[in-house]
Structure 1
Amino acid sequence: MISFNYETDFSLENEAQFSAWISKAIQEESCKEGEINYIFCTDDYLYKINVNFLDHDTLTDIISFDYSVGKELHGDIYISVDRVKENADDFKVSFEDEISRVMIHGVLHYCGYKDKTDKDQEVMTAKEDYYLSKRS
């Protein structure tokens, strides 16, 4: 089950569509959907998590905590709406496209994709682009 939680004034207008899109991606990756929580928050909120849990003194757009068991996906995906808005402006894409990219990025990590090396980033970006093309 995919759930959406808000620690800021932002909220998704079409939760059901996002949920269905993410569920289809999980199935296509031959994984099983477990409990996946999206938590939308501010830069300050996510910064504190980054410092306290990951010892990273930086702003970020997403932090995911993976509790998956094998191919059954479980986890908490924290997304800074502030960072996504700024990135959308920087990359000259719509806010909805950027929030979608970040949301699918978190799930792809749970599916086993990494992004630490250039090669891994290429694969991750290609997967993101593929699933973004399937979003309705």
Structure 2
Amino acid sequence: MSLQLEWNNEQETIDLPKSFVERLEQLLRLAGEAEGIAEGEVALTFVDDAEIHRLNKDYRGIDRPTDVLSFAMQEEGEDEPDIVFEVESEDEQDPFSGMLGDIIISVERAKAQSEEYGHSLERELGFLFVHGFLHLLGYDHQDAASEAEMTAKQEAVLQKAGLHR
């Protein structure tokens, strides 16, 4: 197994070329290589502002849209229940063992931000995807040092992929 991307487009506001899936797979591979992650699955879903607003409110208690949400499958937060899977034999595996998590991106928000920052929608979506991937691995930006580390990692992957500002 290698790093796999499961991609869903649940928004109809902005037409995304099918070739963009190849770019997302490239970004996943580059970010995985940079972090020493060779295997796993990431589910990426593109939504509109209304859906990400609902998810942000339901899961984070924040009543507004955001650009990206990440839901890691491999971390155990203090408010999350432990889930144990019964297996019949030693050959069976936990069905979620290879799942790194879900990334949800608002394409509407990404388009607005790409215009605000003066770069392409492809670059903004790539940035948000890599940002979400790093969150799946446990990175955060709660203080200046962790934000600087995360920013440097994101920019290194984007530069390697040729997605410049």
**What TM-score, normalized to structure 2?**
0.75
Q: Alignment identity in percent?
A: 28
Q: For 1:20, which of 14, 22, 26 is the aligned residue?
A: 26
Give the Å deviation of 1:49.
0.5
Gaps of 5+ in 2: 77-97
Gaps of 5+ in 1: none
Give the Å deviation of 1:22.
0.9
What number of residue pairs does the alignment pair up? 136
Higher helix share: 1
Q: For 2:6, which of 3, 26, 36 is the aligned residue?
A: 3
User: Structure 1 counterpart of 2:113, which letter?
Assistant: N
Q: What root-mean-square deviation, in Å, do the aligned CA atoms of Structure 1 and Structure 2 show?
A: 2.1
Give the Å deviation of 1:47.
0.3
From the superposition, tell whether residues 73 and 84 of structure 1 become closer, same or farther in structure 2 (CA, over 3 Å).
Answer: same
User: Structure 1 counterpart of 2:133, which letter?
Assistant: V
User: Where has structure 1 moved over 3 Å in runs of 4 or more?
Assistant: none
User: Structure 1 counterpart of 2:51, which letter?
Assistant: Y
CA separation in 1, counterparts of 2:124 and 2:141? 17
Q: For 1:48, which of 47, 51, 54 is the aligned residue?
A: 54
CA separation in 2, counterparts of 1:134 and 1:5? 25
Is the contact between residue 27 and residue 130 of structure 2 (CA under 8 Å) also seen in structure 1?
Answer: no
User: Does residue 1:74 correspond to 2:100, yes or no?
Assistant: yes
From the superposition, tell whether residues 100 and 42 of structure 1 become closer, same or farther in structure 2 (CA, over 3 Å).
Answer: same
